[in-house]
Chains A and B, each alone.
Chain A
Amino acid sequence: MTKNCHNDYKMKFSTDEEYPDLLKHNNHMSKALTREIYDKLRSKSTPSGFTLDDCIQTGVDNPGHPFIMTVGCVAGDEESYEVFKGLFDPVISDRHGGYKPTDKHKTDLNFENLKGGDDLDPNYVLSSRVRTGRSIKGFTLPPHNSRGERRGIERLSIEALNSLEGEFKGKYYPLKDMTEKEQEQLIADHFLFDKPISPLLLAAGMARDWPDARGIWHNDNKTFLVWVNEEDHLRVISMQKGGNMKEVFRRFCVGLKKIEEIFKKHNHGFMWNEHIGYVLTCPSNLGTGLRGGVHVKLPKLSTHPKFEEILTRLRLQKRGTGGVDTASVGGVFDISNADRLGSSEVEQVQLVVDGVKLMIEMEKKLEKGGSIDDMIPAQK
């Protein structure tokens, strides 16, 4: 049974009695959730029984960081974004650069539309990677789903992935039953994901029943990887060493389409609509859910006073090489697209390709002792 939310009982108490104390909070949810909105939405529940309090629990429990703005709410199913529009619309607008409730999102997974991207200088670009998430229609999402549903997702995923051939032929490793040897290999390959420890995820109920129905699939070439039932139903990752982002993106698009076909055959296609694109657990991943990036050596550029401004103008973000919330090591940065919603997959990867190319040229200029002032790009 899906997580029960005993909402009818709570309706006996007034809005004032139930409204959370958000005075010390700094996340998108706490900024958007007025007493009026809480009052309007608290009596509602999605068809599967997810309620407003369920959406916001993670944001109430995690007041946030003075400098980093977390989202503070999650969806429990596809319908959450509709039923709790009153909260999600302002959160989405705040998080995704003013995206309006009437805006339409473009999906473009035609890798042929990407220009260039096969020639990023391997002396600077160490590796390239594109990831996204997918939710499977007909199942509720990780904060809400029952063990039966999660196992159903796993079963369908295994079937879909095991039917892949050629460059996509691979193997599934359930977290519950992997051997020590398999575990060590997956750790060495940097593929293994752990039970979440972030209170942002735990407070949203995403680690329930761990490690039941969680697992990792990857192709024999180790260039295409799928996480099952971690923070989303599926996280799909295409990667390889070096700077051939075009090839990474091709494999990403082709692989995704093949997987989607198989799910559709079972009447369980991916959750998608023309307003918010691919529907995922966290509002920050709506739209493309895509993060395309490279590990790139920029020791000089990264210490230039205009580095942050350049990134902002290129619509890119930097992270350390350990991923989100890590520091860079040896001048190597993880550079990826900042946007998810309102532009297509091709557009976002194009920004990465073009932006990284420019930054490498800037790095080379700085190496020669030159100035980059005339190379600073306009806002994209």
Chain B
Amino acid sequence: MASTFAHMMSGRKAVLALAGLSAGTLATGYIMSDSRSTAAIEKMKIYPPSADFPDLRKHNNCMASALSPAIYSRLRDKLTPNGWSLDQCIQTGVDNPGHPFIKTVGMVAGDEESYEVFADLFDPVIRDRHNGYDPHLMKHPTDLDSSKITSGLFDERYVLSSRVRTGRSIRGLGLPPACSRAERREVERVAAQALSGLKGDLAGRYYSLGEMTEEEQQRLIDDHFLFDKPVSPLLTCAGMARDWPDARGIWHNNEKTFLVWINEEDHTRVISMEKGGNMKRVFERFCRGLKEVERLIQERGWEFMWNERLGYILTCPSNLGTGLRAGVHVRLPLLSKDPRFSKILENLRLQKRGTGGVDTAAVGDIYDISNNDRLGKSEVELVQLVIDGVNYLVECEKKLEKGQEIKVPAPIPQFKQ
């Protein structure tokens, strides 16, 4: 099966070489592969970029902050080698002006090349979203050596569960906003086949969304594993729900500690979790599982999308780099009421969410605490940061229980470059 797509593959060395070239060189090359009709080209002349420039006056997202008429004018008529355009990248941000308090990203990639061809817009968005990380000056470190982790065992009187997630894209296949049905089905085949090769504590089973039985569906709901057709307009406007539920599914190991979502918001989302506070074991399984899946897809001639500027390539720019969110559900009844709570989190580079995930409220003083950052720090660094941070929070909670003083820690620096 890989033979159909083999011509799109490039070895990791070739990719690294390409990534080393300037964005301008790559971008110029792609105008030549324009596949538009004469009528379409005529239309481009009747409507200059200024006629199509979106009205972003009431918008508040990273794309709207970065997109100037000059940038739009330069990029509007370009296409990636797969025929994906700028307008398609930004449609979600045009359709969803955003929230006055929460700054959404407002654009997505349709393929790996989007980040190159439309670099003039993606780069400032990436800088905005990732604390000033500049893809053209900096390199992103990848490190999945879990043996480097220290003190990864939390006090289970406070930490109820631990979880690490990331995403992976299969090089050569279009991303969820752009992929055709054939590409999406190929992602499913490649991923499910690789996962079926996992053994030992990682051995498990695949459940296709379209074909699962009612019983299987109920069980997956009870386990909190099942994902639904997206309802968020941020995702639907980006075209990620097309052809639902074709080629979507869930894989998990028999022990229910390693879970993979196929063709939801990314090609794959990989999740390692367990009850309790053994983050070290969760991360160890995470790294082992990821490396094993990578080995299995490489056996068949596939690889993950990755480069040294942006790390792992995912659909949303917010997930570039590690794509990693490591977090815990932790009880912090006293600390959460302390006025310094937000500042402590900010300095530790952590974020809080309710236990239902993003956009939910905390229930019973239990918070979801995880890393803020994704790009510019390695997986090991980020997980260690979460471990150290959560340990600090638990220490604060214990101090407050005893009526002792707590301190706001010094802010952790952004990047070492």
Contacts and interface: CB of A to CB of B under 8 A. Distances in A.
A6 B43 contact: no
Interface of B: 4, 35-40, 43-44, 46-47, 51-55, 76-77, 79, 82-85, 87-88, 91, 94-95, 178, 180-183, 185-186, 210, 236-237, 241-244, 246
Nearest to A21: B246
Contact of B54 (A3, A4, A8, A147): A147
A209 interface: yes
Contacts of B55: 176, 212
B111 to A, nearest CB: 10
Q: Which of B88, B178, B180 has the most CB of A within 10 A?
A: B180
A46 to B, nearest CB: 8
Interface of A: 1-10, 12-14, 17-21, 45, 47-49, 53, 57, 60-61, 146-149, 151-152, 176, 202-203, 207-210, 212
A45 B37 contact: yes
Interface centre among A6, A60, A152 (most CB of B within 10 A): A6
A47 B40 CA distance: 7
A308 to B, nearest CB: 34
Contact of A1 (B47, B236, B241): B47
Contact of A207 (B4, B95, B182, B241): B95
A61 B241 contact: yes
B85 A20 contact: no
Contacts of B4: 12-13
Contact of B95 (A7, A12, A45, A210): A210
Interface of A is mostly: loop
Nearest to B229: A61
Contact of A48 (B43, B82, B180): B43
Contacts of B88: 3-4
B35 A209 contact: no
A2 B77 CA distance: 11
B83 A4 contact: yes
9 contacts: A1-B77, A6-B79, A10-B180, A20-B243, A47-B37, A47-B40, A49-B39, A148-B47, A148-B52
Nearest to B178: A6
A1 B88 CA distance: 10
Nearest to B58: A176
A178 to B, nearest CB: 13
A13 B242 contact: no
B182 A202 contact: no
Given A13-B182, A20-B243, A61-B242, A208 B91 contact: yes
10 tightest A-B contacts by CB?
A6-B83, A148-B51, A148-B47, A17-B182, A47-B39, A13-B182, A4-B85, A148-B52, A8-B35, A18-B182
A289 to B, nearest CB: 25
Of the listed residues A1, A13, A45, A207, the one surrounded by the most CB atoms of chain B closer than 10 A to its CB is A1
Contacts of A5: 83
Interface centre among B52, B77, B183, B242 (most CB of A within 10 A): B52
Contacts of A1: 40, 43-44, 47, 52, 76-77, 85, 87
Given A6-B84, A207-B95, A208-B95, 9 more contacts: A1-B52, A1-B77, A20-B246, A47-B38, A147-B51, A147-B53, A208-B91, A209-B54, A209-B94
B89 to A, nearest CB: 11
Contacts of A210: 95
B49 to A, nearest CB: 9
A117 B298 CA distance: 75
Nearest to A139: B43
A6 B110 CA distance: 11
A3 to B, nearest CB: 7
Nearest to B84: A6
